[in-house]
């Protein structure tokens, strides 16, 4: 079989690229190891920056999102027993959309496959990349029903298979550098069947550890609790979770948290990596396949979308007009925003975890940084820009 572009992975990155290619009538196929039902219900991110929604909209991919997403333009820090509301929207003239990732993935699959007639193959096994150095690369996989091996010859491969995929490792070690960062900190990521206790994101900076609340919908709320890296979620029974959340998010005059059933409980290690370059021959990495950012500042899906806009547009320009400039500049253009967001996440990680570090000096400087956000308009404006991603030019 011969295709123009093979996209490996149907997450936000792969599906956005597929949607852009279909709109430009570029032949492509998307390969995904999981089922459609699985990817449409896998809970993960929920915060999308305004510029990303605007760019999705320009490509006809945001209709349902803009109808249904909540708009957020403030967050609240809680520290030293007090609440501090931070209205970043007023400062940066921009806002966030809260839209759960499974809904975005559902919209993107529908648009790519059902509306634009794109070819998507679910449940594939043993995906392998071949001949990336040549101008005729190929991707092979095992068919889920028959067990038979299929080979797709193509012009380009988009590696969008996330942090645990195979495309990153198809770049020979001597041709890429992977910069890694590990904070040595874990977060217990929880989803609870409760409405959020406030109308905005909460960050609790507490001597017992960080705690966060991220609204997802009127029925479901995400919470985070700092914990040892690699901790077992079973160490966190219902009562311990709610006691710690109440303690770490407690502040004078704060409305009580609504307790309820926990429908997801997993430990995430706060680590990240950046692959440089994001390309090798005819392979282009996009999203978590090429760079992982800890969920500290809710940046991962936004970076995945940024890569996808650049790669989708660049592939379409090359195939339809012979214009290779987008592909040539792809890696450097993506990495500029990636490093900007990594730096912000690291800065925020220092704030979230400094007070609980056990080091009184670090605790003191952390609280000074936090207070500065509420006393210095320049510090507040800089934070707002970075939190909303408006500082990095698109
Ligand atoms: P993925 O979404 O991981 O998609 C990759 C796809 O490839 C998957 O469907 C996978 O099944 C498939 N796949 C894997 N291996 C193969 C293979 N060999 N062959 C074919 N297919 C394969 N980001 C934000 O911006 N805001 C947030 O608020 C936020 N919160 C988060 C909370 C949590 C708990 C987690 C875990 C992440 C969060 N993120 C957040 C990060 C965000 O979810 C990711 O950055 C985003 O999903 C990356 O999209 P992607 O398309 O690159 O990869």
Q: Name residues whose C-beta falls within 8 Å of residue 255's C-beta, 6 or more positions apart in sequence.
A: 197, 198
| Residue 16 Cβ < 6 Å to ligand 1 | no
Q: Where are the alpha helices (H) located in the chain, listed in sequence order?
A: 12-23, 36-41, 50-58, 63-68, 88-92, 101-109, 238-248, 300-321, 325-328, 330-354, 360-375, 377-388
| Residue 9 Cβ < 6 Å to ligand 1 | yes
Q: How far is the CA of 282 from the centre of ligand 1 (A)?
A: 23
CATH number of 5-72+95-179+272-344: 3.50.50.60
Helix (H, G, I), strand (E, B) or coil at 212: strand
Q: How far is the CA of 372 from the centre of ligand 1 (A)?
A: 34
Q: How far is the CA of 287 from the centre of ligand 1 (A)?
A: 8
| Residue 120 Cβ < 6 Å to ligand 1 | no
Residue owning tokens 């820009």 = 385
Question: What's the complex ipTM?
Answer: 0.96
Which atom of ligand 1 sits closest to the CA of residue 39? 9
Q: How far is the CA of 242 from the centre of ligand 1 (A)?
A: 28
Nearest residue to 284 (alpha-carbon basis) of 252, 255, 339, 326: 326
The residues spanned by each domain of the chain are: 5-72+95-179+272-344, 182-270+357-388
Pocket probe for ligand 1: among 6, 7, 301, the residue whose CB has the most ligand atoms within 8 Å is: 301
Per-residue pLDDT of the chain (394 residues), as tens digits, is 999 999 999 999 999 999 999 999 999 999 999 999 999 999 888 899 999 999 999 999 999 999 999 999 999 999 999 999 999 998 988 899 999 999 999 999 999 999 999 999 999 999 999 999 999 999 999 999 999 999 999 999 999 999 999 999 999 999 999 999 999 999 999 999 999 999 899 999 999 999 999 988 889 999 999 999 999 999 999 999 999 999 999 999 999 999 999 999 999 999 999 999 999 999 999 999 999 999 999 999 999 999 999 999 999 999 999 999 999 999 999 999 999 999 999 999 999 999 999 999 999 999 999 999 999 999 999 999 999 998 776 5
Residue 129 vs residues 141, 145, 318: alpha-carbon distances, Å = 9, 21, 22
pTM for the full predicted model: 0.95
| Residue 44 Cβ < 6 Å to ligand 1 | yes
Among 3.40.50.2300, 3.30.9.10, 3.40.50.300, 3.40.50.720, name the CATH number for the domain at 182-270+357-388: 3.30.9.10
Residue 229, both tokens: 């890296």
Are the CB atoms for 297 and 387 separated by under 8 Å? yes
Which backbone phi and psi does 384 adopt, to 5 degrees?
-60, -45
Are the CB atoms for 294 and 271 separated by under 8 Å? yes
How far apart, in Å, do the first and last CA atoms of the chain sit? 36
Helix (H, G, I), strand (E, B) or coil at 309: helix
What residue owns the CA closest to ligand 1's atom 36? 44
Pocket probe for ligand 1: among 11, 286, 290, the residue whose CB has the most ligand atoms within 8 Å is: 11
Which atom of ligand 1 sits closest to the CA of residue 266? 34
């Amino acid at each position: 079989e011969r295709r123009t572009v093979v996209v490996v992975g149907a997450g936000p990155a792969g599906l956005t690229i597929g949607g852009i290619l279909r709109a430009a009538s570029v032949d492509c196929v998307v390969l995904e190891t999981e089922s459609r039902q699985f990817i449409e219900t896998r809970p993960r991110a929920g915060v999308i920056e305004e510029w990303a929604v605007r760019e999705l909209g320009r490509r006809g991919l945001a209709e349902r999102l803009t109808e249904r997403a909540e708009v957020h333009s403030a967050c609240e820090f809680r520290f030293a027993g007090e609440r501090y509301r931070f209205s970043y929207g007023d400062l940066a003239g921009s806002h966030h959309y809260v839209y759960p990732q499974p809904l975005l993935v559902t919209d993107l699959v529908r648009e790519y496959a059902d509306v634009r007639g794109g070819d998507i193959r679910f449940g594939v096994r043993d995906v392998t990349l071949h001949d990336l150095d040549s101008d005729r690369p190929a991707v092979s996989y095992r068919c889920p029903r028959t067990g038979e091996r299929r080979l797709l010859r193509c012009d380009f491969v988009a590696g969008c298979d996330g942090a645990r995929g195979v495309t990153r490792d198809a770049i020979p070690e001597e041709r890429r550098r992977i910069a890694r960062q590990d904070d040595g900190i874990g977060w217990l990521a929880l989803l609870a069947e409760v409405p959020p206790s406030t109308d905005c994101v909460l960050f609790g900076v507490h001597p017992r550890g960080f705690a966060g609340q991220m609204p997802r919908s009127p029925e479901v709320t995400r919470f985070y609790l700092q914990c040892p890296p690699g901790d077992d979620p079973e160490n966190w029974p219902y009562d311990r979770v709610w006691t710690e959340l109440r303690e770490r998010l407690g502040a004078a005059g704060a409305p009580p948290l609504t307790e309820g059933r926990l429908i997801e409980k997993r430990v995430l290690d706060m680590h990240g990596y950046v692959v440089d370059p994001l390309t090798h021959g005819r392979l282009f990495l996009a999203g978590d396949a090429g760079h992982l950012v800890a969920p500290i500042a809710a940046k991962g899906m936004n970076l995945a979308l940024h890569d996808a806009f650049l790669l989708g547009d660049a592939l379409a320009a090359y195939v339809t007009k012979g214009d290779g400039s987008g592909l040539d500049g792809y890696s450097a253009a993506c990495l500029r925003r990636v490093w900007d967001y990594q730096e912000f996440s690291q800065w925020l990680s220092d704030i979230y975890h400094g007070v609980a570090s056990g080091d009184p000096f670090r605790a003191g400087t952390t609280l000074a940084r936090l207070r500065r956000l509420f006393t210095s308009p320049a510090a507040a404006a800089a934070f707002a820009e970075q939190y909303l991603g408006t500082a990095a030019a698109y």
